[in-house]
Amino acid sequence: MNPTTELKIKQLSEKINHYNTQYYQNHLSEISDEEFDKLLAELQQLEKQHPQYAQADSPTQRVGGTVAKEFVQVRHRYPMLSLSNTYSAEELQEFDERVAKGLEQQPYQYICEMKYDGVAISLIYENGNLTKAITRGDGEQGDDVTANVRTIKTVPLRVVAADLPAYFEVRGEIYLPRESFDKINAEIEEENVMRAKQGRKTLTPLANPRNAASGTIKMLDSGVVAKRNLACFVYDLLGENLPFRTHEESLQALKKWQFNVFDDNRKVSNIGDAIAYIAEWETKRYELPLDTDGVVVKLNDKAQREQLGFTSKSPRWAIAYKYKAENEPTILESVTYQVGRTGAVTPVANLKPVRLAGTTVKRATLHNANEIARLDLHEGDTVFVEKSGEIIPKITGVDKTKRKPNAQPILYVTHCPECATLLVRNEGEAIFFCPNEKGCPPQIKTKIEHYVSRKAMNIDSVGGKTVEALFEKKLLRTVADLYKLTAEQIRSLDGFKETSTNNLLKGIENSKQQPFKNVLFGLGIRFVGETVAEKLADFFKNIDNLAKASIEELQQAPEIGERIAESIVAWFQDADNQQLIAELKQAGLQFATTDTPKVILGNQLVGKTFVISGTFKSFGREELKDLIEQYGGKVLSGVSGKLNFLVAGNEAGSSKLEKAQKAGVAIISEAEFKAMIE
């Protein structure tokens, strides 16, 4: 035992924890980043040399490094229920009336809090130490992501206080600060510039902070999580025999214990003041470092909460007001058209830049010709733009009072903007298509990009820039041409040296081992997506059986309707496609399934079809799908006339439920499904 080393580790840990608290809780920088990094590096080195002295709450745990094979499911001691939502002041008044009635006119107060747009988390502390961090999951049980949460600097690893309960839970929201989100995407852009020069596949930027936070907290490598710089706001305290009479007292205790509590929560004595708080923060929220989408109004007194109780899904003493999507006027500068892999021509509105939901919007989708006609768009119109779900911009209307007298109507193009071919529109469809699929450059290139994508052939070394360069040199016209490329041809491209050339050739060679379902999906047959390709490969076993199948025979396969069957037959009848298959066979690709024995547990579900919606207490979604198939049933992707049962879990999709009800499909619970197989 070396008391000097042990003491040094303890002192360093306390010092670094102090600086972390000052920086992340009190917004004070007492030392420079360089000095802080030196202290942390010194502590890491000491702990590496003397692991027996490392403390449970060591700040080195913030760096991560644990790699999990999977996340263990843990049942919540206190269920994590969802809140009922509203978008109107009238429904807030109705909520208040229900509260008053339930409390039999007792005086009461509310606490108003921001509704954070992140990932709900339950933090469990025992004897002051963080022992578990569990995601919401289905409300009854969630994933143990403790190793990842330990990397979040705004989550205390150990709490020291005189009034500390032996066991308590803290509920909060993990989020990715906008600054971190922008930084990560900037780094991805820099990486993509380098990858493009090397001819490698580019990375996809993060879509939005909420999705990024959700994906990050479920990463298996906590070292990667640490680099993302997640943060956490907490909003509730749970436990047995806690000494706090009100929610306000709980928040004050959490703040005293060095948790990150929002400074501008407000206690109000009536619903009118709560509505005023909501109005105050509607635009002010964009000044915050994270995304928010509403305000939570909850009773302050905990005894009164117990008096009101819960419904099966949510507490009766709280409600979430969600802000409506922000809608702003701007000028329509032009309309351009994009040609996709299937030839679909999509109009895009180019806008005078406008700030919307905290970001600058320059473009918005117009979907199709029908949408342009519905909006009655004219050149230079003042249009109203909204972020659907605060993510995807769309035009919702036109201010015709500001239209110039001589403004010309926007007319959807009649010919392909890329190859000048006359566009066609199939009966019953809203989309116009360019039929020149073998000669239209963007269709050819995007088909190849689809083929090399991760879910198809997964040729990571071939990116969009490489496809573009090979196409321009006339080395690439079909996906079969990939397997004819030589090292000399690849080296003729800008930026390709020996290593990058070898990587590209290796990636192409490795793609020959991708299973039949991936090859089928990669071919880009219209209406044959990832799921349909898997069903077809499983049913027909090889490409020859599929190629000679009639429309009627194709419809015997699961989820294959007349439209998909007609598209498949037409594709295989085309002489060029037949030649393509022959060349790919010659290249050595996999065109037959490798059957693995299926586990059969019973025949209770033979001849029955199912769709799954929502989350479940006893099963994961994939586990439930496997069970259905193991008992002889089939799982469909959507509600249709072929469906027998919709298995509805917690938060089942409302559109699926509605479709099932209209179609007369039986809607069964998790318990009813269990009874079917038992």
Catalytic residue annotation = 115
Q: Which residues fall within 8 angstroms of residue 631, CB to CB, at 6 or more apart?
A: 601, 602, 603, 604, 605, 606, 677
DSSP-based three-state secondary structure for 50: coil
- In the β-sheet with 318-322, what is the strand arrangement from edge to edge? 85-86, 318-322, 292-299, 110-116, 266-268
C-alpha triplet 14, 16, 21: angle, nearest 5°: 90
Q: How far apart are the C-alpha atoms of 368 and 664, rounded to whole Å?
A: 32
* Torsion angle of the four alpha carbons 448, 452, 453, 457, in this order, in degrees rounded to the nearest 10: 130
Instruction: Find residue 395's DSSP bridge partners.
Output: 385
Q: Which residues fall within 8 angstroms of residue 465, CB to CB, at 6 or more apart?
A: 196, 199, 202
Q: How far apart are the C-alpha atoms of 394 and 361, rounded to whole Å?
A: 10
Q: How far apart are the C-alpha atoms of 518 and 90, rounded to whole Å?
A: 52
Q: How far apart are the C-alpha atoms of 602 and 611, rounded to whole Å?
A: 19
Q: How far apart are the C-alpha atoms of 244 and 256, rounded to whole Å?
A: 14
Closest by CA position to 268, among listed 307, 295, 308, 236: 295
Which tokens hold the place of 487? 């090292």
Q: What is the number of other CB atoms lying within 10 angstroms of the CB of residue 428?
A: 6
Q: How far apart are the C-alpha atoms of 274 and 96, rounded to whole Å?
A: 10
636 neighbors 559 (Cβ within 8 angstroms): yes
Q: How far from chain centre, in Å, is Cα 239?
A: 32
SS3 content of the chain, % helix, strand, coil (to 5): 40, 20, 40
Q: How does strand 167-175 pair with strand 119-126?
A: antiparallel
Using CB atoms within 10 Å of the CB of residue 280, give its burial: 0 to 12 exposed, 13 to 18 middle, 19+ buried: middle
Which tokens hold the place of 114? 């921001």
Q: What is the DSSP letter of 301?
A: B
Q: How far apart are the C-alpha atoms of 142 and 603, rounded to whole Å?
A: 31
Closest by CA position to 322, among listed 126, 91, 489, 556: 91
Q: How far apart are the C-alpha atoms of 265 and 298, rounded to whole Å?
A: 11
